[in-house]
Amino acid sequence: MKATVQFTINGQSNSVEVPPMKRLLDVLREDLQLTGTKEGCGEGECGACAVLMNGELVNSCLVPALQAQGATLCTIEGVSTEGHLHPVQQCFLECGGAQCGICTPGMILATQHLLNKYPNPTPEQIQEGLAGNLCRCTGYMRIFEAVQTAAEALHAL
């Protein structure tokens, strides 16, 4: 049994015919070939599959496709514009916020979400805001620096 699910993704309206309980993660990766969203644990612990849904940060491995009906979604593929890095991406690149890179898409979306909420985040707000996104490589310090630098860069725009 399949359902038609319509949503706006990375600025474009889209519709897919999928089983209604199919994980949004699999819809993104398999039906839309948006493989920038990663699977790390499949149980909502690691945040590698994080995307923005109606501006909220969600773990797409825990979202059934049907729940995305009518939603506005943003994945890592929607963060840059025409090959130009978003300031958050640029700061992750320059500050060493990405090492193996597997957590990076989710981490960048978590950062987007954080900076929308707190344009001038305190260190504690950064620590708490990214606590749902696990990184095994960096020890988070370079990521904190990237977020802090990105906040400043966004103000300068």
Interface residues toward another protein, by CB under 8 A: 29, 35-43, 45-46, 48, 75-77, 79-80, 85, 89-90, 92-96, 98-105, 108, 126-128, 130-144
What is the smallest separation between the CB atom of 108 and another protein, expressed in angstroms?
A: 7
60 or 75, CB closer to another protein?
A: 75
In angstroms, rounded to a whole number, what is the distance separating the alpha carbons of residues 63 and 31?
Answer: 15
Sheet holding 72-74, edge to edge: 12-18, 3-9, 72-74, 50-53, 56-59
Burial annotation 41-80 (CB, 10 A radius, 16+ → b, else e):
eeeeebbbbbbbbeeebbbbbebbbeebeebebbbbbbbe
70 or 90, CB closer to another protein?
A: 90
Beta bridge partners of residue 17, listed in sequence order: 4
What is the smallest separation between the CB atom of 53 and another protein, expressed in angstroms?
A: 17
Q: How many other C-beta atoms can be found within 10 angstroms of the C-beta atom of residue 81?
A: 9
Residue linked to tokens 């990237």: 146
What is the smallest separation between the CB atom of 150 and another protein, expressed in angstroms?
A: 11
5 or 103, CB closer to another protein?
A: 103
What is the smallest separation between the CB atom of 73 and another protein, expressed in angstroms?
A: 14
22 or 68, CB closer to another protein?
A: 22
